[in-house]
Every structure is written in structure tokens, then in C-alpha cells.
Chains A and B, each alone.
Chain A
Amino acid sequence: MENAVNFETVGFGKRLKSMLKVDFQRMFKSKLFYILIVCALIIPILITVMMTMMDGSVSVDPQTGVETVMQGPENAWQSIGTLPTDGGETMGGMDVMSMCNINMMFMLAAVFICLFISDDFKSGYAKNLFTVRSKKGDYVVSKTLAGFVSGALMLIFYFVGAMLGGAISGLSFDLGTLTAGNIAMCIMAKVFLMLVFVSIFVLVSVAAKQKAWLAICGSLGAGMLLFMMVSMITPLGSTVMNVVLCFAGGLLFAFSLGAVSNTVLNKTHLIY
């Protein structure tokens, strides 16, 4: 037949490969990504240097007259995770170092993923994509993987920044009872834990579509629920067990929330 149309079915691997290629190209061409990576590098340097400089300074509450002695970091590893002291106790508490640490990177990843996905819907890219690729699962997998890589890179750059900050401030790099393996396991556990957060951020973002503000608020809100648990699940003294648990948790969240994201995309309007 002269006007016959040839139909081809593209396999999952090929579809995912092309989608990932686009997502990574976009990610590495995005200014926002580099801004966040620079933030991830600079934040630990600034915090470590600032806290070291303020170490020992006393502030007085004008109403109660209570004096507070500012406590700086004792160790370069402190901004990576909680450090077991000689007595086996952790250096917890609500000081600046326990709040402004590597776990902030989960928040940066939320901002990046939400803006990345909302841009797809705002620009009409998602509309073009879903016209020719009806399987929404591909999109969810691709965004989850791209988001995971971006989050992992932020964690790694934060780690580099923390080490630089420690070196600049002249902090001790003494591992005490820990080993370099523990530090590596801690970082790996955090990287795998990123998958849990990314799955949540992707779900919130595909539900919010082009409303970036809604996606960011929703993601940070949902992330906050798990945020406080990060330091407990991934302490500096992490072992293979922590890594395995975070990996398993990451996969579990990625599959279950990925399925929910897929359903959201299938059941809702992709264009208004």
C-alpha cells in the first residue's frame, strides 16, 4: 500500500536512555544546577570558618542575663555527621552545626528537582513528550535518576567543602574511634538516602506540575518530616548495615512513590 504507515515499538531501555540523555543534558546546561553546586561547596566552608571564629565568644540574654558560650566545631568531620565522643555519646543538641550540616543538601535537592520538573510543564516540554511517549513511568524513572544524581553531586560537593572549611579553620581531622571506612559508609548511606527524598520530591512535583512554588513548599514540608531522621540513620560511624538499609529504603521509596507518581500522571490533565 502506497500510504502505509510503519509502526515501531521502542523498548523500555531505549526510551529511558533517550530520556535520560535529555535530562542530563538539560541538567548540566542549567545555571540553577551550578548555582546549587557552588552553594553546596561554599556553605560548609562559610559555616565552619564562621563557627570556628565565634568559638568561645559569650552572648548575654538581655532579659534573663543568662550567658551563653558559643561552641565552635571541635572536628572537621562534625559538619558531615554526628561524631561519637570518647564517652560514646553523640554531639547532638540544637547548635548551629547540628542544623547547618550536610543534611541541608536534601533541601537544595528539593529546590532543584521541583524547578526542574515544573519547567518541563511550564515550557510545554512535558506536553510534547507525553504526546509521543505515552508511558508516564519512563518520565518518573528518568526524573528520579536525574534528581538522584544531582542530589548525590550536591552531597559530594558539600563533603569537599566541609573538608576545605576544616582545613582553612585549622580544625582537627582526627577520626578518633572511627575509620575512613566509616566516613565513606556515612557518605554512601546519605547518597542512597537521597533516593528516598528524591522520590518524594518527584511525586510532589508531578502533582503540582507547573506550580513550582507549590512543589517546593510541598517537598520541603514532606521532606521536613524525614529530615530530622537523617542524622540518626546516617551517623559518622555508619557501617555497611547503614548503607544497606538506606539503599533498601531508597529502592522501596523509589518504586512505591514512583508508582504513585505514574498514577498521578496517568489520571490527571497534563495540560490546562
Chain B
Amino acid sequence: MNAVEIRNLSKNFGKKQAVNGLDMTVPMGAIYGFIGENGSGKSTTEKMICGLIPKSGGIVKLYGRDHTDESVRAKIGVLIESPGCFSGLSVWDNMMLQAANLGVKDAQKEVVRILKTVRMEGAAGNKYKNCSLGMKQRIGIAMALLGSPTLLVLDEPLNGLDADGMRIMREVLTDIVKDGKRSIVVSSHLLGELQKVATHYGIIRHGKMICEMTADELDANCRTYVALKAKNMSRAKSLLGCKYSRVEEDEAEYIRVYDMTTPEEIVTYLYGNGICVIELKTDKIGLEEYYIDLMKEGR
């Protein structure tokens, strides 16, 4: 049974079609990275899954049941746009209110447990409005985790987090799904971070799902490249550019050769032209580059 199954979903805002015949499958236990450009329909899709905006057409099933079913809705935790906290109340009070709303048994214990999960146990007494952005994102996850949901829908939970905040968030997300009973749909523009946690991906463009794959499939699809540093970088780059079709310099000032070739061939070629290679490695493109390539192909 899949956690989310969407078929031919559409949403119109007046004449504008935000989501156009979207299909999506999120298996149970998956961290589903939902990727797309701004305005591609990610948030709209997530809001429709949660029943926050009515759909114009299509089918949304959660655990095999219609998404409007009261019993299945109780199994969703959501972090879309904001955590849903009252700014004048403390983190603890906000959590307790949400726990009361959901009818959580043994609420105090449960809130303590969840605050520990999101590494926020020390900040329970802080007023929500005084929390940092990173803390607010984690409080949002904590609010979403109340009531033991089996499906979490998180819209840009990594936004505005510092390196440590992102590490904590990654740990939190992997902790949540480790029992295999929970699934997470997470959208983010920080693809490098997403790649570290996601087990499945869905790439949306102009309201249509252009591809869905597992992390293994992504790995298999990602091209290998040769990266090198040479003594005369500019000459090396121009020489390689003459022989190979795609040669680029990355942020770390490595020359990358994406063509099907071997490191030996490149080194021999450069050595033959009087260039000494001082560093050489092979690597695979990441999700970010794969996504950029995919978007370029579509244009």
C-alpha cells in the first residue's frame, strides 16, 4: 500500500492551471523529495493533499482511502508555510494546545518526547516569537509530529537553516522514517541537502510530474565526470574544450569533463600537450546537476 497515490490531479486558479494532470506515488516509509521550480505547483499539490485547497479534478488517495476521509486525515502532519503557532504563547503551550486539539493521550509525556526528537527540549519555555528561524522550523516539525501521524507533508522545511540546523533537520527526518511506518513528502530547493535524506524523488514542471524515481535510480542516472586540477588551468581548459564536448569549471575550481572518457586518457592527452595534472578524481553529478540538466532538456 502506498502512502500517497495521486492520479490526474488538476487545479485551476481562474484561467491559470497550476497543476495539470499530475500523477504521484509515495511509498510507505519513503522520504519523498518533491522538486520543482518556483510556481511549478509543488505547494499547490501539497495543499491539495492536505485538503487545504479544493482540487479541480483527479484522485488523491492516502493509504488507499480518499484524502477527504476523516479517519485518514487524522494521520497527516503538516508543515506548510508556517508551523501554526501563536506567537504570544510559549513553545510548550503551543504544543500542548495542538496536543489537546488532537486528543493526544498523555499529552505532557508525548510533547516532551517529540521535543526531544526535534532537539528542542531545552527551548520549551521560550516564547514562540522569540525563537530563531531554525528553531521555528523544528517546532513546525514537532507540531506536525503530534498525534503520531504516518504521513508528514513538509513544504520547504530547510529554508533559512544554518549548517548545523540542516544537519539536525536531516537527522530528525531520517529518525522519523526509520521504523518504516511513516512517510514524508518534503519539498525543497536545497537539492544537495535533499539528496542526503530522500529515498524517492518526484520532479514537477508546469504542474506535471516529469519524472519519479528512487534514490538508486537517480544514482544510476547520474553521469560520471572526471575532475582535475592542472598547473596551467586556463590552457588545460581550452585544450580539453577542443577535444571534449562538455568541459566546465566548478566552484571548487576543478575542471570537469563530462564526456564518456577515462582519467588515463585525459591525463595522457594533457601531458602530451605539456600540461601537468596535479589532482585528478572521478565523481558523479548530484541531484542538483541532474535536475538542472533535466530542466534544460525540457526547455
Chain A interface residues toward B at CB < 8 A: 2-3, 5, 7-10, 14-15, 18-19, 21-22, 25-26, 29, 31, 119, 123-135, 266-267, 269-271
Known: A7-B65, A9-B70, A134-B70. A128 touches B84 (CB 8 A): yes
Shortest C-beta distance, B122 to chain A (Å), equals: 23
Neighbour of A25 across the interface among B1, B85, B100, CB < 8 A: B100
Neighbour of B100 across the interface among A7, A18, A267, CB < 8 A: A18
13 inter-chain pairs at a CB distance below 8 angstroms, sorted by A residue, are A5-B63, A5-B150, A7-B69, A8-B74, A21-B101, A22-B100, A29-B89, A124-B80, A124-B84, A131-B51, A133-B74, A269-B54, A270-B52
Shortest C-beta distance, B156 to chain A (Å), equals: 14
- Check B54–A271 contact: CB distance below 8 A: no
- Check A132–B76 contact: CB distance below 8 A: yes
A124 to B103, CA, bound (A): 19
Residues of A within 8 A of B82 (CB): 123-124, 127
Q: Does B81 contact A (CB under 8 A)?
A: yes
- Check A132–B102 contact: CB distance below 8 A: yes
Neighbour of A130 across the interface among B51, B93, B147, CB < 8 A: B51
- Check B103–A271 contact: CB distance below 8 A: no
Shortest C-beta distance, A262 to chain B (Å), equals: 14
Shortest C-beta distance, B136 to chain A (Å), equals: 11
Residues of B within 8 A of A129 (CB): 84, 101
A124 to B85, CA, bound (A): 7
Chain B interface residues toward A at CB < 8 A: 1, 28-29, 47, 50-54, 63, 65, 68-78, 80-89, 93, 97-98, 100-103, 143-144, 147, 149-150, 153, 180-181
Neighbour of B81 across the interface among A5, A25, A127, A269, CB < 8 A: A127
Residues of B within 8 A of A269 (CB): 52-54
- Check B101–A19 contact: CB distance below 8 A: yes
Shortest C-beta distance, B53 to chain A (Å), equals: 5
Known: A5-B150, A127-B80, A128-B84. A18 touches B29 (CB 8 A): no
A123 to B98, CA, bound (A): 13
Known: A127-B52, A128-B143, A267-B54. A26 touches B74 (CB 8 A): no
SS class, residues of chain B in contact with chain A: loop
- Check B80–A271 contact: CB distance below 8 A: yes
Residues of B within 8 A of A29 (CB): 89, 93
Shortest C-beta distance, A77 to chain B (Å), equals: 39
A31 to B88, CA, bound (A): 9
A19 to B134, CA, bound (A): 29
- Most B CB atoms within 10 A — which of A29, A125, A270? A125
- Check B74–A3 contact: CB distance below 8 A: no
Shortest C-beta distance, A118 to chain B (Å), equals: 12
Shortest C-beta distance, B253 to chain A (Å), equals: 44
- Check B81–A22 contact: CB distance below 8 A: no
Among residues of B, the one whose C-beta sits closest to the C-beta of A31 is B88
Among residues of B, the one whose C-beta sits closest to the C-beta of A30 is B88
Shortest C-beta distance, B52 to chain A (Å), equals: 5
Q: A128-B144, A131-B51, A271-B47 are in contact. List 7 more A-B contacts (CB 8 A).
A: A9-B70, A18-B101, A22-B100, A29-B89, A119-B86, A127-B84, A132-B147
A242 to B3, CA, bound (A): 56
Shortest C-beta distance, A131 to chain B (Å), equals: 4
Known: A18-B100, A19-B101, A130-B52. A125 touches B84 (CB 8 A): yes
Residues of A within 8 A of B97 (CB): 22, 25-26
Shortest C-beta distance, A175 to chain B (Å), equals: 44
A123 to B139, CA, bound (A): 13
A266 to B89, CA, bound (A): 29
Known: A31-B88, A267-B54. A5 touches B80 (CB 8 A): no
- Check A3–B86 contact: CB distance below 8 A: no
- Most B CB atoms within 10 A — which of A2, A9, A123, A129? A123
- Check A271–B52 contact: CB distance below 8 A: yes
- Check B71–A7 contact: CB distance below 8 A: yes
Among residues of B, the one whose C-beta sits closest to the C-beta of A130 is B52
Among residues of B, the one whose C-beta sits closest to the C-beta of A20 is B100
Residues of A within 8 A of B101 (CB): 18-19, 21-22, 128-129, 132-133
- Check A131–B86 contact: CB distance below 8 A: no
